[in-house]
Structure 1
């Protein structure tokens, strides 16, 4: 049985709502280590990546908030993830805001010629400094990982791109900026929006996703933003969008990924306990991790 290494990233600099830096603690408090040990994994919690402070003085060269601190955190995370994979272990990264995916994918991408990425999220996170309405880097990690955007972000770990457009599948999108829609069309990125999920059903969406990745990739990273779920099921997120994926659909998706045995790394992000109800969102995150890593009802 593979060893799982848990990496906490208490990053709240990719956006402006405080509290998401407590996400890793909330997920640990919700019993992630015990849950995975009950599935007979050897679990090592290697603690938290050290994250710098918010920059008080805005960066005059670009509209990107906290660029230097986000980049430094990303480099540290990339190095740790790289080492975990070198050791033959499964990296499970706990966020923190979604800007952490820049570092995770930089660490993971080194090990695969054709890395697949499942972006389970209400948002595309495909903005650059030119298209972002806010300058918040948590809306940019997927673009940065494709080599698009500020060189400080695209160059993490000394190479780019980390993932090719044709190896990305976004699941659960329901809030895309105009610039992101253009990029999706231009690059031909596969998106299963809520419209498609409602129309096709989650089973078909996951069957198609799994079949594509089995055919075209040599590893698959799951980047799961808890705001991909409906806020009714996961209220503790910074950018909730109603009309999301249900708790049951999400478990089905994770169980199908577990059966397919294609996921080689994963991160769960945007758990914000300050905005949550009795740690409900972290508890949901842990339950989904259980399903992803093979927990079954019978």
Structure 2
């Protein structure tokens, strides 16, 4: 019997460098609604980006992030699958502790050009999004909780890592599947039969496929992403958060459709 699916769109501020990801998340939500016939639950109110340091950004984002966490607690408490458009990676500070609370042994498959495993004191950029996985993994206290263990994380596509992250990944033997690897085979092995929750930062893709804030050469293709989703679809699927899709290539540019991205995710979305 198919599980109930709940759709959520985050529209608050979350450490944004620019104003393109909030409408990008809304565009994803609208397209998911068109495909599913289900209107998404909206969290937060859009605010202009200020491009401040992590502390200022976190303080500004906390009310909406707490609301997002409460939403996912409710979704998982009802046994539903969560499909969310989360604008920026920093929203994971709120979502992943809720995932861990309700799914203690879940495997987090983190698609991203970056690991986002820095605590504040190790961050080179001071960017809130770069701390997004470290908080839920208990490497610093964001005020939103933790609950994940490092052995629950599988990294896919990361190719721009800070020295602290490189050492952490090696020390804890965190699976790190690189774009040039046999993605499907390596991912299946790393998941090892566990339930899966997916974080997708669109900069895991080769630049030029979809608009993103960061652009790191050597990324995945949409076919690569689809192949990974086919592997994940063979496991118990807890949910997915789609982050860092910008609705245009530049400010005031024409809108870009999320259709090709969502088509690549179809092996997961089609189960719902």
- TM-score by structure 1 length? 0.81
Between the aligned partners of 1:85 and 1:16, the Cα distance in structure 2 is 31
Q: Distance in 2 between matches of 1:56 and 1:33?
A: 30
1:82-113 CA-partner distances (Å, limit 9, x unpaired): 10111221111102110011111122211122
Shift in Å, 1:70: 2.4
Q: Does structure 2 conserve the Cα–Cα contact (< 8 Å) formed by 1:118 and 1:220? A: yes
Offset of 1:202 from its aligned partner?
Answer: 2.0
Q: Which runs of 5+ in 2 are unaligned?
A: none
State how 1:1-298 maps to structure 2 within 5 Å.
1-29=2-30, 31-36=31-36, 43-46=38-41, 48-51=42-45, 53=47, 64-149=55-140, 151=141, 153=142, 155-156=143-144, 159-160=145-146, 162-194=147-179, 198=180, 200-210=181-191, 212=192, 214=193, 217=194, 219-234=195-210, 236-258=211-233, 260-275=234-249, 279-280=255-256, 282-294=258-270
Distance 1:11 1:126, change over 3 A: farther
Distance 1:13 1:35 in 2: 27
2:11–2:43: 8 Å Cα contact kept in structure 1? yes
Deviation >3 Å, runs of 4+: 51-59, 276-281
Q: 67-76 vs 118-127, which deviates more? A: 67-76
Report which stretch shifted further, 68-77 or 121-130: 68-77
Distance between the aligned counterparts of 2:256 and 2:81, measured in 1?
Answer: 25
- Structure 1, unaligned stretches of length 5 or more? 38-42
Distance change >3 Å, CA 294–CA 28, structure 1 → 2 = closer
Q: Deviations for 1:121-141, whole angstroms, at most 9, x for unmatched residues?
A: 111011121121222111111
Superposed CA RMSD in Å reads 2.4
Cα contact 2:11–2:46 (8 A) shared by 1 = no
- Distance in 2 (CA, whole Å) between partners of 1:57 and 1:269 is 17
- Cα distance in 2 for residues equivalent to 1:99 and 1:119: 13
CA deviation after TM superposition for structure 1 residue 116, in Å: 1.3
CA contact (8 A) 1:118 1:223 kept: yes
Shift of 1:239: 0.5
Give 1:54 deviation, angstroms.
6.8
Q: Give aligned pairs, total.
A: 268
Residue 14 of structure 1 deviates from its aligned partner by: 1.8
Secondary structure of the 1:106 match is: helix
Distance in structure 1 (CA, Å) of the matches to 2:25 and 2:17: 18
Shift of 1:281: 6.0
TM-score normalized with structure 2 length: 0.89
Residue 3 of structure 1, CA deviation: 2.0
* CA distance in 2: counterparts of 1:8 and 1:282, whole angstroms: 14
